[in-house]
Amino acid sequence: MENTSTVKELSLAERERAAVIGPGHTFATITDKIASIVLHEPSPASWWLGLLIGLTLLSGLGLSVGYLLFKGTGIWGINIPVGWGFAIINFVWWIGIGHAGTLISAILLLLKQRWRTSINRFAEAMTLFAVACAAIFPVIHTGRPWLAAYWLFPYPNTMALMPQFRSPLMWDVFAVSTYGTVSLLFWYVGLIPDLATLRDRATAKFQKIAYGILSLGWRGSAVHWHRYETASLLLAGLATPLVLSVHTIVSFDFAVSVIPGWHATIFPPYFVAGAIFSGFAMVVTLSIPIRAIYGLQDFITLKHLENMAKVMLATGWIVFYGYLMEIFIAWYSGNEYERYMMINRQMGPYAPFYWALIFCNGIAPQIFWWKKARTSIPILFIMSIVINIGMWLERFIIVVTSLHRDFLPSSWGMYWPTIWDWMTYAGTLGLFLTLFFLFIRVLPMISIFEMRTIIPQAKVAGVHK
């Protein structure tokens, strides 16, 4: 009898762990919980603290960019031969962060994965904010945007030279702008039913007007739902290839060159895998504090966190395989420059950073083979931060170690970021945090109507999906 009861208890615990929503919820409790965070509950002290940190860092961005526009890129650590520094490193890192939102919202929607429901809304918002942070760097890395940035835009003009359409930097403009536009549309279309819910529940006049305008006259009719589903599927179909194309094109910034360490066909696939890897790590970093602060453990369950850990484990292996292939090809190619590039990475002046990224991206994620690690909140949170540090180090190693020692020893040099490099990077983190904390305060961070479709009563009531 004891064994039987133990088995029953274990099976119950397993069912609760596997659930994508806590037990006992109804249509009303889901709506009340999510809507009240926006409409009624006062902001907790942790929200104010996070917003304050974000605004403080954001002020540093304003100061550093202002000084950059006044003095030029000489305030950064870039030099000859390292002409690319923090601006490109952070651009690629932020674009990678934004990949998880599109994957969760589009691909998992098409695959009908129900566990995406609790995390897709703020993952999509994270994508938009990350793209906004990334978009700053291509503009400011010219130093004098009003003299140089317009070369990136293909508009008719009377100048002697037109934009170079064969340049991967031009491809970046098209890819990132398309990615940002589709992500914004997908995010906003998904918000419309919930904006209507907030409109109907708001008591303040300003809120009723604002949410009423943003909800575009949504009334939940069959026609509205049909158009909503059609638009969602179309946008998901458009967004899915962008997951592959955007970071592939970003990798071409490096892969189409002849620089040892950049000229590699492995770059597109492992850049895409690395983007998903770091993007899911950032989703975990954000979702763990959010579920604790707002009491959303029933909505963002251990099942969600475990699934994201599995995705990080899989994509981490793809990234690690890319590292191993770089080492193998450098040896197998017989090219002395490629061989020296890899030796320099492993034993040169930046070797500690290289081995740190191998640990963060290759060795540390192997802990996710154990279920206890995948369902441990402290381990998940620490590992998500470790992975994002590792992915930033990857971009640093790719950019810097390939440039500071290339073909001619007479042109070798060292690169170290200045205080202005660090302030700009920290400032974009502040911009990201500020936008994210404002988002969770004024808009539902979890999709209300999608959460209502996964409770048991939804099948009985025939709730529209």
User: Residue 453 has what pLDDT?
Assistant: 79
CB proximity list for 90: less than 8 A, separation 6 or greater: 133, 134, 137, 395, 424, 425, 428
Contact 412, 87 (CB under 8 A): no
User: Residue 3 has what pLDDT?
Assistant: 44
How big is the CA angle at 13 (ends 12 and 16), to the nearest 5 degrees? 85
Q: Which residue has the tokens 């059609």?
A: 230
Does residue 344 form part of some domain?
A: yes
Does residue 271 form part of some domain?
A: yes
Residues 173, 175, 181, 185, Cα dihedral to 10°: -170
Does residue 390 form part of some domain?
A: yes
Does residue 238 form part of some domain?
A: no
Q: Which among 137, 197, 220 is positioned nearest to 424, based on CA atoms? A: 137
- Domain count of the chain? 1
User: Residue 27 has what pLDDT?
Assistant: 78
User: Residue 5 has what pLDDT?
Assistant: 43
pTM: 0.88
Does residue 127 form part of some domain?
A: yes
Domain that includes residue 79, residue range: 25-97+114-149+259-461
User: Residue 13 has what pLDDT?
Assistant: 41
Does residue 316 form part of some domain?
A: yes
Gap between the Cα atoms of 240 and 219, Å rounded: 29
Q: How many C-beta neighbours within 10 Å does residue 251 have?
A: 25
User: Residue 10 has what pLDDT?
Assistant: 40
Consecutive sets of 10 residues in the chain, 465 residues long: mean pLDDT of each?
A: 42 50 77 84 86 93 91 88 89 86 76 78 88 88 75 62 70 84 88 89 87 88 88 84 84 87 87 88 90 85 88 91 89 87 91 94 92 91 93 92 86 90 94 92 86 70 49
Per-residue DSSP letter, 216: T
User: Residue 254 has what pLDDT?
Assistant: 87
Does residue 181 form part of some domain?
A: no
Does residue 125 form part of some domain?
A: yes
Distances (CA, A) of 164 to 146, 151, 252, 259: 18, 8, 15, 20
Contact 17, 305 (CB under 8 A): no
Per-residue DSSP letter, 259: S
Per-residue DSSP letter, 92: H
User: Residue 458 has what pLDDT?
Assistant: 61
Determine the residue type at 379: I
Query: Which H/E stretch holds residue 146?
Result: helix 145-148
Burial of residue 5, with CB atoms counted within 10 A of its CB: 0-12 exposed, 13-18 middle, 19 or more buried:
exposed
Determine the residue type at 14: E
